[in-house]
Structure 1
Amino acid sequence: MVSWAITGATRGIGLGFVENLSVDPKNQVFALIRSLGTAGPLKELASQRKNIHMILTDISDPTKLDEAAAEVSKVTTGSLDVLILNAGSAGPDTAVLPPSGFHGKKEALDLEIGESIKNNLLSNIYTINSFLHLIRNGQEKKVIFISSQSGNLEFTRQTGFSTLLGYSVSKAGMNMAAAKFAVELAPEGIKTLSLSPGWVNTDAAKAVTGDPEVRKYVLNMFHKVDPNVEGPAPIDEAVSNMLRVIRNLTEADSGKFLTHHGDEEQWF
């Protein structure tokens, strides 16, 4: 039996992980969520599959994360195999501005960077530290950070994307934090990985690229990296690809930032 904990599990990629993993009754799946009010589809799924455990927590609060880890421990008798850090935020409305657009807007820049760092970097470090003692006792011993190609330097250079400043900086920062955990924990057999899901058809993606003109602009940028990309992939396809990479993760790749194809080039 393999135990999995997924943050941000009420919708999108997080819910996709829960759906995929819970099909196998041998998996114990812990859905870490902030509120039951937005968890309708998850609650319905959990009512049908008894290996899904919903746990309320706040990833910005280390105390509540410690309590969530204690709840997981009660079910698994003190262990966790795989922790998937999926929760995050695209940031404030100022994400549409390039770096120079913040000139004279100190408060806006502080918020753009600060909120993204809090939601996409600090909260994930809090989560790892709260669950680390369970990972140490697990069989798989894997910590997976769901990153983004937006946090990759070469992808940014090639596509020409100058916006999503806070989001990109925070994702890149968490990629580095994951590498730091990897080198620290390697002697214990614990492996980490930053993993890009690609362009996925989530509600968040639709909010950004739903407008036809915006979608055309984004595609033009993406075509500089991959001329064949036509649109976002279905959630189930993206999750299946990522799980293949996660299951194949070895010490040799621990701490790396890989695509959902398991390499460092195929972003779509």
Structure 2
Amino acid sequence: MVSWAITGATRGIGLGFVKHLSMDSKNQVFALIRSLGTARPLMELAAQRKNIHVIITDISDPTKLDEAAAEVSKVTDGSLDVLILNAGSAGPDTAVLPPSAFHGKKEALDLEIGESIKNNLLSNIYTINSFLHLIRNGAEKKIVFISSQSGNLDFTRMTGFSTLLGYSVSKAGMNMAMTKFASELAPEGIKTLSLSPGWVNTDAAKAVTGDPEIRKFMLNMFHKVDPKVEGPAPIEEAVSNMLRVIGKLNEADSGKFLTHYGDEEQWF
């Protein structure tokens, strides 16, 4: 039996992981969520599949994360095989601004960077540290951060994508943190990975690219990287692709930032 813990599991990619993994009754799936307010689809699924365990926590609070890890430990007898760090935030409304637009707007810049660092970097480090003792006792010993191509230097340079400053910086920063964890934990056989899901048809993606003009603008940029991309992929397809990469994760690839195809080039 393989145990999985997924943060941000109420919707989108996180819920997609829960749905896919829980289809196999041999998996124990722990859905870590912030509240029940938006968790109706998850709770309905958990009522049907007894291998789903819903745990309410706050990934910005190390104490509550320690409590969540203790709940997982009771079910798994002190171990966890795979931790998937999916929760995150696109940042405040200022995410639509390029870096130079923050001149004279110190408070806005502090918020743009600070909130993203808190939600996409610090909270994930808190989560890893709270669950690390369980991962040490697991069989798979894998920690996976769901990153974004927005946090890749070459992707940003090639597309000319200048907005989402805080989001991109925080994702890139967490990619580095994952490499640091990989270096530290390699002697224990623990493997880490930053993984881009691609362009996925989530509610968050629709909020950004739902407008036809914005979608056209985004496609023009994305075509500089991949002329064949036509639109976002279904959540189920993205999750399936990522799980294949996670399944193949070995010591040689630990600490890398890979695409959902397991390479460093195919972002879509």
TM-score normalized with structure 2 length: 1.00
Consecutive unaligned residues in structure 2, runs of 5 or more: none
1:195 CA drift (Å): 0.0
**1:160-199 → structure 2 map (5 Å cutoff):** 160-199=160-199
Counterpart in the other structure of 1:26: 26
Counterpart in the other structure of 1:101: 101
Deviations 1:150-169 (A, max 9, x none): 00000000000000000000
**1:91-240 → structure 2 map (5 Å cutoff):** 91-240=91-240
Q: In 2, Cα distance between the equivalents of 1:153 and 1:220?
A: 18
Deviations 1:18-62 (A, max 9, x none): 000000000000000000111000000000000000000000000
SS in 2 for 1:167: helix
Q: In 1, Cα distance between the equivalents of 2:233 and 2:156?
A: 20
Q: In 1, Cα distance between the equivalents of 2:253 and 2:7?
A: 23
Q: In 1, Cα distance between the equivalents of 2:37 and 2:51?
A: 21
Counterpart in the other structure of 1:88: 88
Counterpart in the other structure of 2:247: 247
SS in 2 for 1:6: strand
1:145 CA drift (Å): 0.1
Q: In 1, Cα distance between the equivalents of 2:37 and 2:71?
A: 20
Runs of 4+ displaced beyond 4 Å = none
Letter in 1 for 2:236: D
**1:32-111 → structure 2 map (5 Å cutoff):** 32-111=32-111
Deviations 1:129-153 (A, max 9, x none): 0000000000000000000000000
Count of aligned pairs between the two proteins: 268
1:121 CA drift (Å): 0.1
Q: In 1, Cα distance between the equivalents of 2:34 and 2:213?
A: 34
Q: In 1, Cα distance between the equivalents of 2:149 and 2:255?
A: 16
Consecutive unaligned residues in structure 1, runs of 5 or more: none
Q: In 1, Cα distance between the equivalents of 2:9 and 2:227?
A: 32
Q: In 2, Cα distance between the equivalents of 1:37 and 1:147?
A: 25
Give the alignment's Cα RMSD to 1 decimal: 0.2
Letter in 1 for 2:5: A
Counterpart in the other structure of 2:11: 11
1:15 CA drift (Å): 0.0
Q: In 2, Cα distance between the equivalents of 1:56 and 1:156?
A: 35
Deviations 1:88-115 (A, max 9, x none): 0000000000000000000000000000
Letter in 1 for 2:95: A
SS in 1 for 2:32: strand
Deviations 1:40-88 (A, max 9, x none): 0000000000000000000000000000000000000000000000000
Q: In 1, Cα distance between the equivalents of 2:37 and 2:9?
A: 13
Q: In 2, Cα distance between the equivalents of 1:124 and 1:77?
A: 24
Deviations 1:206-265 (A, max 9, x none): 000000000000000000000000000000000000000000000000000000000000
